């Protein structure tokens, strides 16, 4: 066999192995579940178990899933947020180095604030004409901290 | 495309694929490991029984809890508490090479406050649970006064010794060891507090093992209109997370000739109601050396002060802050390294309070700074009262004002010591600590005016307008 042919075989085998192992890992890690809105997908990793358990007991369980509050209500925004958080969560969970109890990032807080206000627009408009521009001054969960998932 | 370019490209593809295979395999392994973590494995390697005293044996089944329990040997200071390792030269009488800082040296007023009582000889900051037995055995107080066996109720793992001494009867063993002098009782014990003191060996549930608490809480509940309260069957799981600590972190005295360890709770848990109880039974801990007052020494009433604070009111227990949950892999365990929440703000406070560590620490220390200032005012006032009574006694100890002033000293001292001896510098119930120190300062004032011929009555602390 010529050297080039040998290299071709090696490259093909390795490429196939990467593809096969990648496909297996994707399936084993329930990769497909992340493309759905199923809240149990968010608790695939045990780090989110308390939040998931809290949501199961919460008032919003009947009306909102994780994605309804934690991703923007536009198709593009939702995809970008899922990709960003998916990447960061995977990286942190794999390599460690995050504080426990886990806390929401400022960017994600802005998302939840906007989604609260999106569904509850009628109520919020009446009490906060300023809108979501200054969420730190008038944040929904400052008072309604338990609505999503009470983990205390 | 030349053959060599083609070879180079193939080589690059092969190399990148190899790296990808490695990375995916590593990721797969990591995901697998995380999955294993989440399975909450529990390996029962030894059979535990009610007779298993040695915590190391329990530790074989519960290594995380045991490892943390061993960490109570740590000595770390906080602003107003914790303990600092002070190196000392070991002697034949005291083999310790490290002790905690002396509170008497930090605040010499305490020597005057307790003049004539063993605490004026040696009083140090408390160290962790691991030191409870050795520090009690080697305190300078042992050298100036014969300490009772009852001390060991809380300075040793004494559940099994009680049962042995009582031949299976917890209360009989309790009574027997209470009557012994310290050294005789100490021969019955071997460990500081251990697993068996708080946990049932088969269910691991929290349980009460100290007869004094069973009797004390029964008397308290009776005063609240709940007859025949049995804490062993009637307490909720959440209550137990404070009650197990309340078996020791409380005010107490040794009642009568049989030296029965007793919690003065029959009228309530406030400083006032405990003082009223002591007045009612005519108890004094000692006669004050400088003034002749029938004085009382308060002992670490953490449980009582906590019960008057907003955390207790909100259902937050001792364990919630002093043994907060922590994550070990995917396991959620309560941290058996019992310590100041100020050394563990993240887990202790931030589970509920959404503020930064620095902010939470500042909030706590602001409360403690205020209490400390008020405590200093109360102690300074008391020093003046002691000097006044001492002078009056020298002139004429039978003068009517002297007896009154001694009574006020007893009150003022009890109140000031209540906050001083309590190990949170007011944090467990800030408003209550301030109220008690206010009562102390008022009593001191009345003691001083009594010596000038103005006799007053105890303050009327009414319920307030409705």
pLDDT at A88: 93
Instruction: Give, in order, the Cα–Cα distances in Å from B400 to each of B405, B450, B455, B456.
Output: 9, 9, 9, 12
Length, in residues, of chain A: 152
Hunting for tokens 């006020």 — which residue is that? B408
ipTM metric: 0.76
- Rounded to whole angstroms, the Cα distance separating B416 from B298 reads 9
Query: Cβ of A107 under 8 Å from any chain B Cβ?
Result: no
- Rounded to whole angstroms, the Cα distance separating B428 from B306 reads 5
- Rounded to whole angstroms, the Cα distance separating B459 from B466 reads 20
Chain A residues touching B346 at Cβ < 8 A:
99-101
Instruction: Quote helix, strand, coil % in chain A, to nearest 5.
Output: 70, 0, 30
Chain A residues touching B31 at Cβ < 8 A:
25, 28-29
Question: Which stretch of A123-127, B114-118, B406-410 has the lowest confidence by average pLDDT?
Answer: A123-127
**pLDDT-derived band of residue A47, with 50, 70 and 90 as boundaries?**
confident
Residue A151 confidence (pLDDT) above 70? no
Residue B100 confidence (pLDDT) above 80? yes
Hunting for tokens 């998931």 — which residue is that? A52
Closest to B319 (Cα-Cα) out of B237, B431, B232:
B237
Residue A11 confidence (pLDDT) above 70? yes
- In this complex, which of A4, A46, A99 lies closest to B37 when CB atoms are compared? A46
What are the pLDDT digits (tens) for A70-102? 999 999 999 999 999 999 999 998 898 888 778
Query: Cβ of B347 under 8 Å from any chain A Cβ?
Result: yes
Closest to B354 (Cα-Cα) out of A71, A152, A52, A117:
A152
What are the pLDDT digits (tens) for B292-347? 999 999 999 999 999 999 999 999 999 999 999 988 877 889 999 999 999 999 99
**Bigger pLDDT: B140 vs B416:** B416
pLDDT at B459: 59
- In this complex, which of A3, A11, A100 lies closest to B13 when CB atoms are compared? A11
**What is the pTM assigned to this prediction?**
0.82
Q: Are A113 and A139 in contact (CB under 8 A)?
A: yes
Closest to B449 (Cα-Cα) out of B417, B401, B379, B378:
B401
pLDDT at B1: 62
CB contact under 8 A, A4 and B18: no
Question: Which stretch of B165-179, B304-318, B327-341, B437-451 has the lowest confidence by average pLDDT?
Answer: B327-341
Tokens of B211: 């007869």
CB contact under 8 A, A101 and B7: no
CB contact under 8 A, A100 and B38: no
Q: What would the mean pLDDT of B94-106 be, rounded to a whole number? A: 89
Residue B144 confidence (pLDDT) above 70? yes
What are the pLDDT digits (tens) for B224-247? 999 999 999 999 999 999 999 999
Residue A1 confidence (pLDDT) above 70? no
The SS3 assignment for A54 reads helix
Q: What would the mean pLDDT of B441-461 be, rounded to a whole number? A: 84
What are the pLDDT digits (tens) for B23-64? 999 999 998 888 887 776 778 899 999 999 999 999 999 999
Residue A132 confidence (pLDDT) above 70? no
CB contact under 8 A, B346 and A11: no
CB contact under 8 A, A100 and B27: no
């Amino acid at each position: 066999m010529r050297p080039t042919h040998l290299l071709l075989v090696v490259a093909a085998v390795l490429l196939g192995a990467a593809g096969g192992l990648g496909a297996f890992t994707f399936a084993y890690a329930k990769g497909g579940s992340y493309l759905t809105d199923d809240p149990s997908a968010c608790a695939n990793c045990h780090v989110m178990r308390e939040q998931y358990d809290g949501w199961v007991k919460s008032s919003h369980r009947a009306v909102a899933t994780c994605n309804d509050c934690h991703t923007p209500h536009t198709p593009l925004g939702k995809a970008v947020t899922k990709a960003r958080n998916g990447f960061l969560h995977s990286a942190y969970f794999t390599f460690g180095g995050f504080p426990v109890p886990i806390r929401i990032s400022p960017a994600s807080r802005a998302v939840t604030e906007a989604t609260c206000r999106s569904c509850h627009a009628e109520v919020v408009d009446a009490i906060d004409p300023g809108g979501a521009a200054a969420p730190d001054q008038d944040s929904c969960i400052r008072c309604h901290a338990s609505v999503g998932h009470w983990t205390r | 495309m030349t053959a060599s370019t083609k070879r180079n490209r193939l080589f690059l593809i092969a190399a990148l694929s190899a790296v990808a295979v490695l990375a995916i395999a590593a990721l797969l392994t990591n995901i697998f490991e995380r999955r294993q973590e989440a399975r909450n494995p529990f390996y029962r390697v030894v059979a535990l029984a009610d007779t298993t005293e040695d915590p190391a044996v329990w530790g074989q089944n519960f290594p995380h809890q045991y490892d943390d329990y061993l960490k109570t040997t740590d000595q770390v200071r906080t602003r107003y508490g914790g303990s600092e390792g002070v190196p000392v030269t070991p002697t034949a009488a005291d083999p310790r090479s490290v002790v905690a800082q002396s509170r008497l040296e930090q605040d010499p007023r305490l020597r005057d406050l307790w003049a004539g009582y063993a605490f004026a000889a040696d009083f140090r900051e408390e160290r962790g649970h691991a030191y409870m037995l050795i520090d009690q055995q080697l305190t300078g107080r042992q050298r100036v006064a014969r300490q009772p066996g009852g001390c060991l109720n809380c300075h040793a793992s004494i559940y099994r010794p009680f049962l042995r001494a009582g031949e299976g009867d917890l209360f009989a063993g309790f009574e027997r060891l209470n009557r012994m002098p310290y050294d005789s009782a100490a021969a019955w014990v071997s460990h500081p507090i251990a697993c068996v003191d708080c946990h049932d060996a088969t269910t691991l549930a929290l349980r009460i093992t100290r007869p004094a608490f069973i009797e004390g809480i029964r008397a308290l509940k009776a005063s609240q209109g709940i007859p025949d309260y049995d804490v062993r069957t009637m307490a909720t799981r959440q209550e137990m997370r404070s009650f197990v600590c309340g078996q020791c972190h409380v005010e107490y005295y040794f009642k009568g000739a049989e030296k029965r360890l007793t919690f003065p709770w029959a009228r309530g848990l406030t400083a006032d109601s405990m003082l009223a109880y002591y007045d009612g039974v005519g108890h004094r801990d000692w006669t004050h050396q400088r003034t002749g007052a029938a004085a009382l020494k308060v002992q670490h009433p953490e449980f009582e002060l906590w019960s008057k604070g907003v955390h207790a009111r909100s259902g937050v227990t001792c364990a919630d802050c002093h043994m907060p949950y922590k994550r070990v892999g995917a396991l959620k365990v309560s941290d058996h390294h019992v310590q100041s929440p100020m050394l563990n703000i993240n887990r202790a406070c931030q589970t509920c309070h959404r503020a930064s560590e620095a902010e939470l620490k500042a909030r706590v220390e602001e409360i403690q700074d205020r209490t400390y200032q008020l405590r200093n005012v109360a102690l300074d006032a008391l020093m003046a009262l002691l000097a006044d009574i001492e002078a009056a006694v020298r002139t004429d100890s039978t003068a009517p004002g002297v007896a009154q002033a001694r009574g006020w000293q007893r009150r003022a001292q009890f109140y000031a010591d209540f906050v001083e001896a309590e190990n949170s510098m007011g944090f467990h119930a800030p408003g209550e600590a301030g109220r008690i120190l206010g009562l102390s300062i008022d009593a001191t004032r009345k003691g001083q005016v009594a010596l000038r011929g103005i006799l007053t009555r105890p303050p009327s602390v009414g319920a307030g307008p409705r």
